Amino acid sequence: MSNTREKIIELADQLIRTKGFNAFSYADISAPLDIKNAAVHYHFPNKADLGIAVIEQEIARLNDGIHQWKKLSPDARLKKMIAIFQQRYKQRTICLVGSLTPDYDTFSPAMQQKVQEMCKGILDWMADCLEEGREAGNFSFEGDAYDRALMVMSNLMSSLLYSRVLGGNIFGRMSKQLSKDLI
């Protein structure tokens, strides 16, 4: 098993979060790993293949988390999700959804589908979490759980974007407020 492949995916993930998918190049990957750009093409024939691999890794990690958190209460699960974003906030990076959805129209159909899959997965999970929490009395909110999930994920995503641009503890303020709003 080559771990070059995994290193490429990890680096591409970082580059997508910092520069965006369309702004990073094969050289941005081959140079730091001290390999030739042809080696990157060996593992990922074209850029979309690499993008898809990065998204699939993210989906897999998300599913891992979901599986591990299954026995936690809905509000503990929400905290876990917020903690993931907090980690990103500390690293000064943004989430994949926030990085990839603005460039959606420039992607190949296969990659668009993966972006869609990632978005749907996170939103469905959050909607389930919120609905279960409401039924169990952990959460209290008005309206459809899916609409609320859209708003919560929207706030988490944007908190990272705004934090990077405006500085200050915008992530802390937004995550605190969105948690309060659900009680």
Partner DNA sequence: TTGCTTACTTACTAATCAGTCAGTATCTTT
Partner DNA sequence: AAAGATACTGACTGATTAGTAAGTAAGCAA
Q: Which residues bind a second copy (CB under 8 A)?
A: 18-20, 22-23, 94, 97-99, 101-106, 112, 115-116, 119-120, 123, 142-144, 147-148, 150-151, 153-155, 157-159, 161-162, 164-166, 170, 173-174, 177-178, 180-181
Rg of the chain over all Cα atoms, to the nearest angstrom: 18
Residues 13-42 that bind DNA (CB under 7 A): 24-28, 34-39, 41-42
Q: How far is the CB of 133 from a second copy (least distance, A)?
A: 17
Report what 164 binds from DNA, a second copy, none; CB cut-off 5-8 Å by kind. a second copy
Q: Tokens 């926030």, residue?
A: 98
Rounded Cα distance between 19 and 103, Å, is: 12
Q: Are 160 and 98 in contact (CB under 8 A)?
A: yes
Site membership for DNA, residue 103 (CB under 7 A): no
Nearer to DNA, 43 or 114 (CB): 43
Q: How far is the CB of 85 from a second copy (least distance, A)?
A: 13
Q: Judged by CB under 7 A, which of 4, 57, 86, 179 binds DNA?
A: 4
Binding site for DNA (CB under 7 A): 1-2, 4-5, 24-28, 34-39, 41-43, 45-48
